[in-house]
Structure 1
Amino acid sequence: MEGKEFEGETGAIWFGKPAAKLVPTDDDQAERELEFLSEEAAEAECAKLCALLETPCELRNFLGAVLELSPYLRDFARRRPQALEALFDASIDDRLSEIAQAMREAGMADDASEKDVMKALRQAKREAHFLIALDMLAGAADTKTTVERLSDLAENAIGAACAYLLRDAHRQEKLKLPDPADPVKGCGWIVLAMGKLGACELNFSSDIDLIVLLDPEAPAVTDPYEVTELFVRLTRRLLRIMQDRTEDGYVFRTDLRLRPDPGSTPLAIPVEAALNYYESRGQNWERAAMIKARPVGGDLKAGEAFLRELQPYVWRKFLDYAAIADIHSIKRQIHAHKGHGEVAVRGHNVKLGRGGIREIEFFVQTQQLIAGGRFPELRGKATTQMLDRLAENGWISGEAAEGLKEQYWFLRDVEHAIQVVDDEQSHTLPDDDEGLARIAGLLGLAPDAFSGKFRSTLKLVEHHYAALFETAPQLSRGIGNLVFTGDVDDPGTLETLNELGFERPSDICRVIRGWHFGRYRSTQSAEARERLTEITPALLEAFGATRRADEALLRFDEFLSGLPAGIQLFSILQSNPRLSQLLATIMGAAPRLAAIITRRPHVFDGLLDPQLLAELPDRAYLEERLESFLAGAQLYEELLDRLRIFAAEQKFLIGIRLLTGAIDADRAGRAFSDLADLTIAAALQAVEEEFALRHGRVAGGRTAILGMGKLGSRELTAGSDVDLILLYDHDEDADESDGEKPLSPPHYYARLTQRLIAAVSAPTAEGVLYELDLRLRPSGNKGPVATDLDAFRKYQRSDAWTWEHMALTRARAVAGDDSLQKAVEEEVQAILAQKRNAAEVRREAAKMRALIEEEKPPRDDWDLKLVPGGIIDLEFIAQVAVLTGNVQSGVHTTRTAEILEKLSPDFANGQICETLASAHRLYSTVMQIERLCLTGALEPDDVPPGLADILLRAVDLPELSVLEAHLSETASAIRSHFDKLVGPVES
């Protein structure tokens, strides 16, 4: 690639000429970053780098843009300007080779300790990461080269760690290596890379997915009976070497959950046991995962031999019906979250979202499973290479292959840009202008140009994707007979319904005949019945794909029975097949949503908005729509009903966005909370105006609502109650209100609060707005329902229990007078900032957690709120940290996840923070979807398959047993951290 050379007295530096000029978000800040780097370079005696930084040129501008756009790269450059200085004398390729050699030497050093190896690998990884990113951003390395370099880096790190651990076991006489100079030879330890590392397609902040096997009969094994325990210990040490955070950072996050039956198997599994598992109980998703498997550590030859033995399992010459059904299931998973309408850019998940990387990867793998048994050339690991092979073999068109390849590499570029900003394990685009501008700048694009290109990319992927599945060989088939006339079941129709997935075809025939007989208002007109007849085959296919076809269709029948008219809906479904799929997903996977649209069909109207999935339901979006919806409401009762209608519809639409993958669980929590803020604020304003008609106003009177619990922390779910406290103040000399029926201030605000409770919680023809809970007010149920600000201040500073201050860490002013809201928030911050006995706070929190466990034990392991190591543990950790001053300075938030990410280093190191925050994200994702879709508790043995698909897609895991094992492991880890950070929970 064409390059740029900088000539000067100090020598020459060579970089690839940027393929597109990076666009800093702030030119002045870029210049300041260069000045800071120059100071560090001078202190480190990097003369050549100093000379470059003092000379205006294209390369200097490029470095300034990198430093301004990526805090992660900037911090490394400041700490290690020598890494840039070295490039005056060696190319990036040469330096990467030297780093790889240094990693190998660290693993083979005779006198090295585990701590030495960890330090060497971390330092090598950070410099290599920096250089790989620099070469990518400069345009000298294309995306394929970048992912291969990152994969080589991970493989070298694993190889070095394995070499050290094997030699260490040999020194301790736990193993007898045939050749300590070649420790992996005959060692009996096999480390397989899966996923992106297996395919040599790693990204900057990837986990590395591994499966670890052992051979009890390997030459190095001295005691076959103890070998499993030995290699499990070595595997734990490997994990520690790779992912524990130290002052030098970490190497790679490492995940072993793709091993056979992870909930009940050790970290290292005997080869024979693994082969028996795959041949007897292996799932088709595990076959798909094994496509990318390759040995990267330990005995590579033994790893290759294992994969050769596994080939008949992965690559079947003929597909059985169960395998084809599973491939259809994968197809359904993909279609289930494609949604309809425009594609959002802000907050879009590049990996899992619509039109994203995972869609391309899933398609390639399903085609490989179908055809790879008969066509060995389709058994490769690399995604784009396999797209070429599929086209060459006629499975897809050349146009589709080229289009998907181009979009795949662009999406990988976007993914890299997201991750090099702060080295975060994220695939989601920012939802603010500055963040998007930063990503666009790293790609050398203006924000508008990037948004346009990104949106068109996702659309192209979806377009090719739909066409590929429609034309994929062996997947297309005709519907067959569908006759619903007369009173007798048509045998061919029963057979067709059975093939589509219905278990009680005769009952389904009877239901559909009822539609055609016009027994419902929605099917009484001839035109409505005609339209319904035309869409029935598509509906039956869509319901059949839910895997609980009978239940889904019966829910749809209940929905039809409540519709006042049907022709509009049937016409829309006829012209928009994706809406039929979405409706089927709701009916099959989400009984709670199905019940909502059955009781209140009007909420379905919101799905007709073509911009639904393109627009984020943020506060501004909801505020604008609420204002429009309430416009023209004259009567108090009418306004309260409109609030209920609006909230019900928006809750439903937020839920649909979550269900289809258009937003994640975190954004759903914020949207549900913003909706509650706005509608409760509107209800408060209406109540105050209505109350004043009879009772007037109190002189200087002001009210404010303090949101508590999940409302305060902006983590509401679809079915959450709302915790709040109503506060007020007034002029000191105000004795009573000035209305027709005057009241004293305490009486006035108590009555006003009771009126607010009725306005929000009383059921009307349009249902309930929110169930309110005021038990967190001072003195709980014994205290007045409305609290004077001075009384609140006095109580919280003098009489409140520790648990009440813990609850106050999530308090947030959500409605009422602006000036009082500000005063309340300042008072809350002052109360939280009070000096406390940290040991006493911890003791009280641990005692309270023990009391909760005793009085409200978890229902089962899926009760993520109450289970030991669950949501409550995480919330308590965050609350204790706030009360004891163990949150990083400058962080003022009520959101649990943000607090957990920003715990002070003295309280919890970076790895613990990441573990806690990651667990909170996992729990929140599962709970948001569970509360959205189910009316009761999740029953692990009776999860609607469609819901299982949605859950697994959201957490990016292959099946429920793996998710269950992951939740169990996570809870165990969190309880361990709770015991250390807060205190042990004693019964």
Structure 2
Amino acid sequence: PFGDNGALALSFNAMEQYYQEQGRDWERYAMIKGRILGADAHDPNVSLLRRLLRPFIYRRYIDFSVIQSLRDMKNKIAREVRRRGLEDNIKLGAGGIREIEFIVQVFQLIRGGREIGLQRHELLKLLPEIEKLQLISTQQCEDLRQAYLFLRRVENVLQAINDKQTQLLPTNELDRQRLIAATALFTQWDANLQPTEIRYPIHNWESFYLVLQRHQQKVRSVFDVLIGDNNDSEDNNSNNDWNDFLDNDFQNEELEQILINSGITESDHEAMIEKLNQFRNSLTHRPIGVRGQDVLARLMPGLLLQIFQHDAYLTLLPRMLNIVEKILTRTTYLELLVENPQALSQLIELCAQSNMIAEQVARHPILLDELLDRNSLLNPPPFEQYANELQQYLLRLPQDDEEQFINGLRQFKQATLLRVAAADILGALPVMKVSDHLTFLAEAIINAVVNLAWQQVTTRFGVPEHLQEQQKGFLVIGYGKLGGIELGYKSDLDLVFLYDHKQTGQTVGGKKTIDCNQFYLRLAQKIISIFSMNTSAGILYEVDMRLRPSGEAGPLCSTLSAFEQYQHNDAWTWETQALVRARAVFGEAELRAQFDHIRQNVLSSVCDVQKLKRDVREMRVKMYEHLANTDTDKFNIKKDPGGITDIEFIAQYLVLANAPQNQALTYWSDNVRIFDIMAKYGVISLQHAEQLKQCYVDLRNRIHHLNLLGLPSIVKAEEFVQEREFIREIWQSLFD
């Protein structure tokens, strides 16, 4: 700190204060290689110092400012190479050792805060980590590794000749022959730390130089792709009419002329100019800084050019300007869009079709990182892998930082939601698959939340004494859209918590002993607390617990036996209807089987069909009176007659009315497969089942896309006329 003017030894507090307030970019690069000499892993001072320095070196956000800083540093080195005639310097020259180090460091500095595997010193061990994250290809990884080993071999030989620190290739014949002999055949360790012979086709100085150049060219090609020079993009923008948009003397007349040149409808000019001026005026009140102003000046011309080339410029302009305003003071996100033109184009395409995505990105700019790879947007992972993906994601985070762990859950949810929405918009996912992805994402997060809550509660209170190892004796039941595997983009989670408690007892192994009933109540409270905790990344999900036995008057957590007794003896018809769409989403296999048995027995209990019809019909009328749309020119897809709710009630009625004669009808919890099984057993015709399914899928698909646009689930009355008429016919045939 402070270089030659600084003290030789500093306190930890002085170190932390210096790097927080005055640390410069090049000091971050230097610190990446820094390590505590003779460090004892059990010394608390070692871990304390590492914790103090880590936020300076490895930023928690994706830090693309690094690219421009490394580019500037490399350009400075290149100027020095030209000035001093160091073209044959194997460290500083093009494709040399320093460029390999820069390539590795750029990933460490950009992503090291979120990828704990990148927080290490050894370059050769970092390359496989970078490849594992799919940031470079397998071939690029091997090219860089071989080039680094060869260049280091050359450097070692050069320095051994005269015991002198040098990286310049020799000019005299004897030293050249020494270098030829030392690089044509030598031994190095392989990946398993076994000696292996390396042979190169080197016979004379020309063949040596050819091998050297091939390695340097491979390094240079990777370096140019990742860091390179940005002169090309600047040249492409040289004829852009928007180049002077941020200048203080830019007039409305010039704005109007650009809009005319862009072919914008004249009636839209006034609104567009007003929004653009509002944005320009807002800049005067924001502490952007010199670097931020420079990056913004490079971003805006290309951004505005693309916006006004788009058919949806009327909605796109305010959405994109809102995102830019939200990230103005976080220059690294502006740099991400400048450095990755494909990410900017992807963002424009998605925001044009989805207000939800635009709002999410504005609230959580960290999501911009998800736009860097179009292939990952078009090919989301199989939804069955979400639990494993989340586990791998959380393993990359520091395990001793609870806040970052909970933030990690939210970031994973938001990033996955963005990928699913993008695949939906880009036509890569049909509506049924969208719901599958959203449902299994929620289940993966429920699993992580329950495990985190369990860890925290058991640390304090121990575990119930009757449990075996690896048991929790706890079930999470999903109702509604979660239970029906039909979650939408804005769905909350309808949950019920159950536990297995065949005997009374207490907890053991904790700091404090409590009754087992109290233990599971504390666990339920902790789960809800984690879901509801509002951090910088937002909340996880809204959780609705009103479907538990006795509703809001009932306990947060019930035993399986109490749940069974309530469902058989005290549940209202609407609660039994809700049970049709219930399924276990967390818990041991044995407990899940117990719940399935209870559910099937309740749903197949003998009932008075006429009373069932009356109860279902009255509940539907009550919902319509309180919730439905009263505008005859509009159709509420979810709540109006002939909409989603009618289809759901039809499915639930068919199960409850017919399951007493055939328990197999209770198996499925989702509407589509309920209609399939009703047709299979002849309860309804195959034609009616297919029509009901198609109506349901079409209506849900429209709701999904309205959600993406940030609009309510309401359309013009002229839409879905045939579907509504068919659904009303089925309703009348069952209930009238």
TM-score range, shorter chain: 0.5 to 0.7
1:927 is matched with 703
Q: Give the TM-score of the pair, scaled to structure 1.
A: 0.46
* Secondary structure of 1:668 counterpart: helix
Alpha-carbon deviation of 1:889? Answer: 5.2
- 2:614 pairs with one of 835, 843, 847: 843
Output one character per residue of 1:93-137: Cα deviation in whole Å (capped at 9) or x when no partner. Answer: xxxxxxxxxxxxxxxxxxxxxxxxxxxxxxxxxxxxxxxxxxxxx
Check if 1:978 corresponds to 2:736: no
Report the identity percentage.
Answer: 25
* Secondary structure of 2:328 counterpart: helix
Cα separation, 1, equivalents of 2:713 and 2:693: 23
- For structure 2, the 5+ residue unaligned runs are 1-133, 135-238, 468-472
Cα separation, 2, equivalents of 1:520 and 1:914: 59
Q: Is the 8 A contact 2:604 2:666 kept in 1?
A: no
Aligned positions of 1:945-960 closer than 5 A: none
Aligned positions of 1:245-264 closer than 5 A: none
Amino acid at match of 1:969: Q
Alpha-carbon deviation of 1:813? Answer: 0.8
Amino acid at match of 1:884: A
Cα separation, 2, equivalents of 1:762 and 1:483: 44
- 1:524 pairs with one of 269, 291, 295: 291
- 1:865 pairs with one of 638, 642, 661: 638
1:548 is matched with 315
1:704 is matched with 475
Amino acid at match of 1:866: K
Alpha-carbon deviation of 1:859? Answer: 5.5
1:131 is matched with none
1:52 is matched with none
Alpha-carbon deviation of 1:811? Answer: 0.8
Output one character per residue of 1:460-483: Cα deviation in whole Å (capped at 9) or x when no partner. Answer: xxxxxxxxxxxxxxxxxx986764
Amino acid at match of 1:612: S
Q: 1:526 to 1:570 in 2, by over 3 A?
A: same
Output one character per residue of 1:917-939: Cα deviation in whole Å (capped at 9) or x when no partner. Answer: 111011110111222331x5257
* Secondary structure of 1:884 counterpart: helix
Amino acid at match of 2:251: D
- 1:604 pairs with one of 368, 392, 398: 368
Aligned positions of 1:269-418 closer than 5 A: none
Q: 1:546 to 1:830 in 2, by over 3 A?
A: farther
Q: Is the 8 A contact 1:806 1:880 kept in 2?
A: yes
Cα separation, 1, equivalents of 2:463 and 2:480: 30
Cα separation, 2, equivalents of 1:522 and 1:757: 41
Alpha-carbon deviation of 1:740? Answer: 2.7
Q: 1:938 to 1:845 in 2, by over 3 A?
A: closer
Cα separation, 2, equivalents of 1:481 and 1:873: 53
Cα separation, 1, equivalents of 2:721 and 2:510: 60
2:387 is matched with 623
Cα separation, 1, equivalents of 2:321 and 2:453: 41
1:145 is matched with none
Cα separation, 2, equivalents of 1:795 and 1:556: 50
Alpha-carbon deviation of 1:906? Answer: 4.3
1:219 is matched with none
Aligned positions of 1:667-706 closer than 5 A: 667-701=433-467, 702-706=473-477
* Secondary structure of 1:824 counterpart: helix
Amino acid at match of 2:576: H
* Secondary structure of 1:720 counterpart: coil
Q: Is the 8 A contact 2:255 2:273 kept in 1?
A: no
* Secondary structure of 1:775 counterpart: coil
Q: 1:492 to 1:637 in 2, by over 3 A?
A: closer
* Secondary structure of 1:724 counterpart: strand
Amino acid at match of 1:725: V
Aligned positions of 1:818-829 closer than 5 A: 818-829=589-600
* Secondary structure of 2:411 counterpart: helix
Output one character per residue of 1:926-977: Cα deviation in whole Å (capped at 9) or x when no partner. Answer: 111222331x52575xxxxxxxxxxxxxxxxxxxx6xx52323322321221
Which moves more between the two structures, 925-934 or 610-619? Answer: 610-619
Alpha-carbon deviation of 1:604? Answer: 1.9
- 1:491 pairs with one of 237, 253, 257: 253
- For structure 1, the 5+ residue unaligned runs are 1-340, 342-477, 941-960
* Secondary structure of 2:332 counterpart: coil
Q: 1:490 to 1:742 in 2, by over 3 A?
A: same
Cα separation, 1, equivalents of 2:646 and 2:728: 7
- 2:302 pairs with one of 519, 535, 560: 535
* Secondary structure of 1:611 counterpart: helix
- 1:592 pairs with one of 356, 360, 363: 356
2:177 is matched with none
* Secondary structure of 1:787 counterpart: strand
Q: Is the 8 A contact 1:559 1:597 kept in 2?
A: no
Amino acid at match of 1:510: N
- 1:662 pairs with one of 428, 435, 440: 428
Amino acid at match of 2:719: H
Amino acid at match of 1:931: N
- 1:912 pairs with one of 658, 670, 688: 688
Alpha-carbon deviation of 1:519? Answer: 5.4
Amino acid at match of 1:831: V
Alpha-carbon deviation of 1:786? Answer: 0.1
How many residue pairs get aligned? The number is 481
Q: Give the TM-score of the pair, scaled to structure 2.
A: 0.60
Aligned positions of 1:2-151 closer than 5 A: none
* Secondary structure of 1:784 counterpart: coil
2:576 is matched with 805
1:636 is matched with 402
- 2:649 pairs with one of 859, 876, 884: 876
Alpha-carbon deviation of 1:656? Answer: 1.7
Amino acid at match of 1:741: K
Q: 1:514 to 1:657 in 2, by over 3 A?
A: farther
Cα separation, 2, equivalents of 1:528 and 1:518: 17
Amino acid at match of 2:361: I
Amino acid at match of 2:360: I
Amino acid at match of 1:665: V
Check if 1:831 corresponds to 2:602: yes
Cα separation, 1, equivalents of 2:306 and 2:604: 59
Q: 1:705 to 1:523 in 2, by over 3 A?
A: farther
Alpha-carbon deviation of 1:645? Answer: 1.6
